[in-house]
Structure 1
Amino acid sequence: MDERLRRLRAADRISAPMVIKALLPTLVRQHGDRVLGDDQALTAGFGRTAQQQGLAVLGVDRGHDLVTRRQKNGGALTVAGYRTALRVIEHAEKFDLPVVSLINMPGADASPKSERFGQSQAIADLIAAMGQLTVPNVVVFLGEGHSGGALAFANANAIIMLDDSLFNVASPEAVAAILHGQQTVSDAIDLLPMTASDLQQRGLVDHVIDHTQPDLVQVICQQIMATVTDLKSQTNLTQQREAKFQRFMDWWSEQ
């Protein structure tokens, strides 16, 4: 395995629950989609920061050992997870709460059960709802974020990444497989703009955080709140969000 992927998938990797605990001293968790039940990989709910700023949070976590990774399906969200996230952001819109998503996941669950219950529709619904939010919407990539499973959370006003994290439409292994072994997993990471520095250079990522900094959790929390504060001063966040991705698409079409 590529050394970068080994570090991203390490058991002691910083996690969404760790950041949420520091960001929101009190959290009212929301469980389940009221149809299929709960998704253990998702930490979702509402709370207030130490400065009394209300937030809605969505955290996707892989788990840190064999037991928790099985419980959380390795971070691959099911239909219930996406529908729970949708329920949370609908409440966030109603009560004027900024949305913060914290991501470390391989992609969406691709099991027959998820497909049977409408996985692609659940992802599409979340992407659409994220794009229509009139409140600040921030996503932080703590590790990996691949395929439509991560894209559902990334339709945001601002994207923050740790400098060693990855964000792409497919995992490095999937890219290597699509190329029929012509590229190694390491080559696949370098082939496409999926690293934080590459995506920042192309205007998609707004802030990159050095993962070696001391008190990393606090640094992430401070960057989240600074970004939320900046976004709250803008007048049309839906338009800003659309323009952000349109600029990236314009760049891509010119290549």
Structure 2
Amino acid sequence: MSSENVLTPYEKVLAARKSDRPDIMKYIEVLFDDFIEMHGDRYYKDDKSLVAGIASFNGKTVTVIGNRKGKNIEENIRYNFGMASPEGYRKAVRVMKQAEKFRRPVITFVDTPGAYPGMEAESNGQSNAIAGSIAAMLKLTVPVISVITGEGGSGGALALAAADRVYMLENAVYSILSPEGFASIIYKDAKKAPQASEIMKLTAQELFTAGLVDGVIAEGDRCFSDIARMLEKELGILGRMKSKELVNSRYDKFRNIDRGEIK
């Protein structure tokens, strides 16, 4: 569970964006063994903003997927600030389907301001790739766990978080769009992002209270060990469920959210 909330919603947005937060490669290094990265979507190219591969967790083979933003401006540009293109989502789907074939659980780490909105991405089928990733996740017959570690922006984040269990770090945020974008639409002024953050209900604590995420993980010295314990617990629970039960439960989870019938 989260420690006491001491930051305003917009301060949490800024905290979620900090470049010194652990990235996908750090989570892989600390939580998993024997990681083997996989590349390419088998159609066009490899999207470096999205890391995907196979690893070992407590002796069990799992599939790991996550956004990569970079730690400095050079890396930001190389990894497109963590904004995946269609090729990234198609790579994710390819790796998830392979995980299903070999009965491997899927674990995703989400940290993206959103999918890349550029002309090339749109021309290459960005919206279809996002929808395809969401649909693929909902149909997977293996356990799926997602952790929002920083920014969880729009459909670009949801495309990697349609999971059986969704957790957030205490200073992570998860929303339909950025507060600046929201403020530009509602207030016609992006500078009113702090006010927008107050009404968007995008913090981990607010989303947990609303029943939209399954838990909040405190940040700090115990963060990695708490994530490891959570993964061990949830994989144990989900691993005992039959394939059809997993799919039906996951479908109901998101349909209930859509209908406003959150348990």
| TM-score bin (small chain) | over 0.9
Q: Deviations over 1:31-84 (max 9, x none)?
A: 0112221111111011112x2111101010211111111101000001111111
Q: Say if 1:27 and 1:45, in contact at 8 Å, map to a contact too.
A: yes
Give the match's secondary structure for 1:194: coil
In the alignment, does 2:206 pair up with 1:198? yes
The match for 1:86 among 66, 81, 93 is 93
Per the alignment, residue 35 of structure 2 pairs with 27
Amino acid in structure 2 at the alignment position of 1:119 = Q
- CA distance 1:117–1:91, change in 2 (3 Å): same
Percent of aligned pairs with the same residue?
A: 34
**Within-5 A mapping of 1:73-222:** 73-181=80-188, 184-211=192-219, 213-222=220-229
Q: Say if 1:76 and 1:107, in contact at 8 Å, map to a contact too.
A: yes
Amino acid in structure 2 at the alignment position of 1:43 = V
Give the match's secondary structure for 2:66: strand
Per the alignment, residue 242 of structure 1 pairs with 251
The match for 1:13 among 8, 21, 35 is 21
Relative to the length of structure 1, the TM-score reads: 0.93
The match for 2:235 among 206, 228, 231 is 228
Show structure 1 runs of 4+ deviating over 4 A.
none
Q: Deviations over 1:169-223 (max 9, x none)?
A: 1111111111033782122222122211111112121110111x31422322222
Give the match's secondary structure for 1:129: helix
Amino acid in structure 2 at the alignment position of 1:74 = F
Amino acid in structure 1 at the alignment position of 2:140 = L
- Report how far residue 252 of structure 1 moved: 6.7
Q: Say if 2:12 and 2:173, in contact at 8 Å, map to a contact too.
A: no
Q: Could you tell which deviates more after superposition, 180-189 or 56-65? A: 180-189
Per the alignment, residue 60 of structure 1 pairs with 67
Q: Distance between the aligned counterparts of 1:73 and 1:86, measured in 2?
A: 20
Amino acid in structure 2 at the alignment position of 1:41 = S
Cα-Cα RMSD: 1.8
- Report how far residue 231 of structure 1 moved: 1.3
- Tell me, which stretches of 5 or more residues in structure 1 are unaligned? none
Give the match's secondary structure for 1:175: helix
Q: Say if 1:202 and 1:248, in contact at 8 Å, map to a contact too.
A: no
Relative to the length of structure 2, the TM-score reads: 0.90
Q: Say if 1:79 and 1:114, in contact at 8 Å, map to a contact too.
A: yes
- Report how far residue 249 of structure 1 moved: 2.7
Amino acid in structure 2 at the alignment position of 1:238 = V
Q: Deviations over 1:125-172 (max 9, x none)?
A: 111100001111111000011111111111110001011111111111
Per the alignment, residue 38 of structure 1 pairs with 46
Give the match's secondary structure for 1:56: strand
Give the match's secondary structure for 1:181: coil
Q: Distance between the aligned counterparts of 2:108 and 2:216, measured in 1?
A: 16
Q: Could you tell which deviates more after superposition, 144-153 or 34-43? A: 34-43
- Tell me, which stretches of 5 or more residues in structure 2 are unaligned? 1-9
